Amino acid sequence: MKTRTLPHGVLIVCLLTVAAGCNPPKPRAGPVDTGSGSLAAARGYLEGRWSLESFEVYPLGKPPIPVKGSGSLVYDAFGNLRIEIRADQETSGLLQAAGIDIKDGVISSDGRTVVDMQNRTITYVVPGQASTGPLSLSRPRYWKVDGTLLTLTTQDDKGQPLSVGKWRKSV
Domains, the chain: 39-169 (2.40.128.280)
Residue 129: predicted pLDDT: 62
Chain-centre distance for alpha carbon 92: 27
b/e code 135-157 from CB counts within 10 Å (16+ = b): bbbebbbbbeeeeeebbbbbbee
pTM for the full predicted model: 0.74
Residue 48: predicted pLDDT: 92
The model's pLDDT over 25-47, given as tens digits with 9 standing for 90+, comes to 444 544 555 566 678 877 888 89
Q: How far apart are the first and last CA of the chain?
A: 86
Alpha helices for the chain (secondary structure H): 2-22, 39-46, 89-97
Residue 168: predicted pLDDT: 97
Which stretches of the chain score pLDDT less than 50?
A: 1, 9-11, 13-20, 22, 24-27, 29-30
